[in-house]
A and B are shown apart, each in its own frame.
Chain A
Amino acid sequence: MGDSPDKEVVLRTNGLSKKFGRRWAAKDLNLEVHRGDVFCFLGPNGAGKSTTIRMILTLLMPTAGSIEMFGMNLHKKRSAVLSKVCGIVEKPDFYLYLSAYKNLKILGSMTRRIEKREITEALEVVGLKARAFEKVKTYSHGMKQRLGIAQALLTGPELIILDEPTAGLDPQGTKEVRELIRKLSRDREMTVFLSSHLLSEVELVATRMAVINRGELIAQGSVSDLLGKEVTGYSIDVSPLDQAVELVGKLPWVEVLSAQNGKMEVHIEPGHSSELNRFLVTHHIEVSSFSPHRTLEDFFLKITEGTSEI
């Protein structure tokens, strides 16, 4: 469901595998990214996300399998394929002794002739135009991340690949990068492939997703199909907390997982969430927020136990 079979496939991996020594970092991955997707590659740290991205961007040679992009075999038509793709692997590192402008000039020129206007525009999109001629060594991590996106945009790629684009950013920086990703997909009709270990990030930006764990693909499909079912974990801001915990503890269909700093994490049996909200209010407990809460661990548990319909 929701796999957009009518859309052009811009990236397809067939049995993609990578072995380091005796360990499979990625094993038999069959991914499909369609044009216009914001495709999130989700998995915990060490799951094999970066390894897969590095293979897609030719930094690592696959042990087995193949990669097709825009209908072309990556390793046979490398130059043609990569002229339509850009990315950031892990953190964006630049030539610190050069300005942002010079960095973009060098990196962009490796794909095609780049006009000054194009560099200025790319820097404007990410909000770095005013500091274009300052050396990158004076930039914060968030600014480098945005510069990374600017260099990815510069050559007008059809597919952007971002490896954990919000890693290490403060909340404001995270928000800006997510907005930028949505904007690229919406306004420039770019296909975005990003990896993340944050389930919340997937919900906020992605349209399709694949889940990887220990190098193996666990699930793939639309975000609504994979995440839209039966939320059972909730985070509730209540006052007074002690009284709320005591009351809720008596309900057979609720399990209190944690309670601290005015917040309760609870597990509710399906179909009882609004009932719990009513219950708290009628017992004079002030509820200031009541939000679904899913952790990656919960999600993996559900998938591997086969409790979610995938």
Chain B
Amino acid sequence: MKLFWLEIFKTFSRWRTYIGFGFIALVVILTEVVMKWSTNEIMFRMMRSLQKDFLIFGNLLNGWFVTAFIMNSLHFHIPFLITLVAGDIVSSEATSGTVRLLLIRPPSRSKIITAKYLASLFYTAAIVLFLAFMCIFLGLALFGSGDLIMNFATRFRIVFIPEAEIPVRMLLAFAAAIWSMTVVTSIAFLFSTLAENSIGPIIGTMAVVVVFFVLGNFPFDFFRTLNPYLFTTYMSFWQRFLDDPIPWQEIARSAVILGLHNIGLFLIAFVAYSRKDIKS
């Protein structure tokens, strides 16, 4: 635990750690303010397709809807912010030369690498929770509360979630989002243990995420057969907590597959780093 807290202290002593928090605050504030200004336009677009078949009353563009809307950006900016820290946490010690001070101490490499991995996971959770905090509180303050309407376009379904159920479902959705993002953390962390600089792991991780995401979204049969083998397929399982009924089996399957990715990636990082010759 001591090593973990030392890693947390080092991580949060660097200004680059706060880039992510600053970026999220900026994106959420800008998005929500713009949405507030464009309420009528958004409502018109939302209602245009729904009003043909439904009679809708109440505040549809509420804080919960805005939160779910912004959460969809998880695939893009959150992975990048995570790699800034997870891709740097081991490699930066090699770049700066501090690895030579760190690894000659009594704690074993396995303990040090585990502490660094846990610190990366902590940061990942912190950044997603910060996103949740910003989205929900600012959203509720600007747009108020209400029932949540989710349009699962790819599944040709529209789901209405009563206001009373939303806090618990959001909590579960953000927990799942953290779990999804830990795979990005694990990839960046693995690259970080293999590299001697921070740029490689950051670019490498983003390349993997983007390529997998693109492969998984090509509308051709061949690429659809690849989907079960792409971790990105399972990363949006947080959305399933906003479905009705909640598909628990599908959620559990996604969570297990992502967890196995985490275990595998960490084990590779662990073994590689434990045997690595420090020449820098």
Q: Could you list which residues of chain A lie within 8 angstroms of chain B, going by C-beta atoms?
A: 54, 57-61, 78-80, 82-83, 85-98, 102, 106-107, 109-111, 151
Dominant secondary structure of chain B at its interface with chain A: loop
Give B275's nearest chain A residue, CB to CB. A61
A-B contact pairs, 22 of them (CB 8 A): A54-B278, A57-B103, A59-B100, A59-B103, A60-B277, A78-B106, A79-B107, A80-B106, A82-B104, A85-B104, A87-B104, A89-B100, A92-B101, A93-B97, A95-B10, A95-B13, A95-B98, A107-B105, A110-B6, A110-B105, A110-B106, A151-B101
In the bound complex, residues from chain A placing their C-beta under 8 Å from that of B9 are 106
Count CB-based A-B contacts (< 8 Å).
73
Whole-angstrom distance between the Cβ of A117 and the nearest chain B Cβ:
20
Among B242-278, those with CB < 8 Å from A are: 275, 277-278
Contact yes or no, B278 A107, CB < 8 A: no
Give B3's nearest chain A residue, CB to CB. A110
Please report the total number of B residues contacting A with Cβ < 8 Å.
Answer: 24
Give B5's nearest chain A residue, CB to CB. A109
Whole-angstrom distance between the Cβ of A26 and the nearest chain B Cβ:
13
Dominant secondary structure of chain A at its interface with chain B: loop
Among B137-179, those with CB < 8 Å from A are: none
How long is the Cα–Cα vector from A93 to B103 in the complex, in angstroms?
Answer: 13
Contact yes or no, A109 B103, CB < 8 A: no
Contact yes or no, B98 A90, CB < 8 A: no
Given contacts A54-B278, A95-B96, contact A106 B108 (CB under 8 A): no
Supplied contacts A89-B104, A107-B102, A111-B106, 9 more A-B pairs, CB within 8 Å: A57-B104, A58-B103, A79-B108, A87-B104, A88-B101, A91-B97, A96-B96, A98-B10, A109-B6
How long is the Cα–Cα vector from A59 to B275 in the complex, in angstroms?
Answer: 10
Contact yes or no, A97 B14, CB < 8 A: yes
Give A51's nearest chain B residue, CB to CB. B279
Q: A79's contact among B100, B101, B106, B278, by CB below 8 Å, is which?
A: B106
Contact yes or no, A93 B277, CB < 8 A: no
In the bound complex, residues from chain A placing their C-beta under 8 Å from that of B6 are 106, 109-110
Give A95's nearest chain B residue, CB to CB. B98
Among B71-120, those with CB < 8 Å from A are: 96-98, 100-108
Whole-angstrom distance between the Cβ of B85 and the nearest chain A Cβ:
14
Whole-angstrom distance between the Cβ of A16 and the nearest chain B Cβ:
15
Tell whether B48 is near chain A: CB-to-CB under 8 Å.
Answer: no
Whole-angstrom distance between the Cβ of B186 and the nearest chain A Cβ:
25
In the bound complex, residues from chain A placing their C-beta under 8 Å from that of B277 are 59-61
In the bound complex, residues from chain B placing their C-beta under 8 Å from that of A91 are 97
How long is the Cα–Cα vector from A90 to B94 in the complex, in angstroms?
Answer: 13
Give B112's nearest chain A residue, CB to CB. A110
Whole-angstrom distance between the Cβ of B245 and the nearest chain A Cβ:
50
How long is the Cα–Cα vector from A80 to B107 in the complex, in angstroms?
Answer: 10
Whole-angstrom distance between the Cβ of A11 and the nearest chain B Cβ:
14
Whole-angstrom distance between the Cβ of A89 and the nearest chain B Cβ:
4
Contact yes or no, A83 B98, CB < 8 A: no
Nearest 3 pairs between A and B by C-beta?
A: A93-B97, A110-B105, A59-B278
Contact yes or no, A60 B14, CB < 8 A: no
Tell whether B45 is near chain A: CB-to-CB under 8 Å.
Answer: no
Tell whether B52 is near chain A: CB-to-CB under 8 Å.
Answer: no
How long is the Cα–Cα vector from A107 to B106 in the complex, in angstroms?
Answer: 11
Contact yes or no, B13 A98, CB < 8 A: yes
Given contacts A60-B277, A110-B6, contact A97 B13 (CB under 8 A): yes
How long is the Cα–Cα vector from A289 to B73 in the complex, in angstroms?
Answer: 77
Contact yes or no, B104 A58, CB < 8 A: yes
In the bound complex, residues from chain B placing their C-beta under 8 Å from that of A92 are 101
Contact yes or no, A60 B278, CB < 8 A: yes
Give A99's nearest chain B residue, CB to CB. B13
Whole-angstrom distance between the Cβ of A170 and the nearest chain B Cβ:
21
Contact yes or no, B96 A82, CB < 8 A: no
Q: A90's contact among B3, B10, B100, B102, by CB below 8 Å, is which?
A: B100
How long is the Cα–Cα vector from A95 to B7 in the complex, in angstroms?
Answer: 12
Whole-angstrom distance between the Cβ of A57 and the nearest chain B Cβ:
4
How long is the Cα–Cα vector from A110 to B9 in the complex, in angstroms?
Answer: 13
Given contacts A93-B96, A95-B98, A96-B96, contact A106 B10 (CB under 8 A): yes
Whole-angstrom distance between the Cβ of B280 and the nearest chain A Cβ:
9
Whole-angstrom distance between the Cβ of B1 and the nearest chain A Cβ:
12
Contact yes or no, B105 A82, CB < 8 A: yes
Whole-angstrom distance between the Cβ of A243 and the nearest chain B Cβ:
53
In the bound complex, residues from chain A placing their C-beta under 8 Å from that of B107 are 79, 110
Give A83's nearest chain B residue, CB to CB. B106
Q: A78's contact among B3, B108, B278, B279, by CB below 8 Å, is which?
A: B108
Whole-angstrom distance between the Cβ of A193 and the nearest chain B Cβ:
13
Give A91's nearest chain B residue, CB to CB. B97
Contact yes or no, B106 A94, CB < 8 A: no
In the bound complex, residues from chain A placing their C-beta under 8 Å from that of B14 are 97
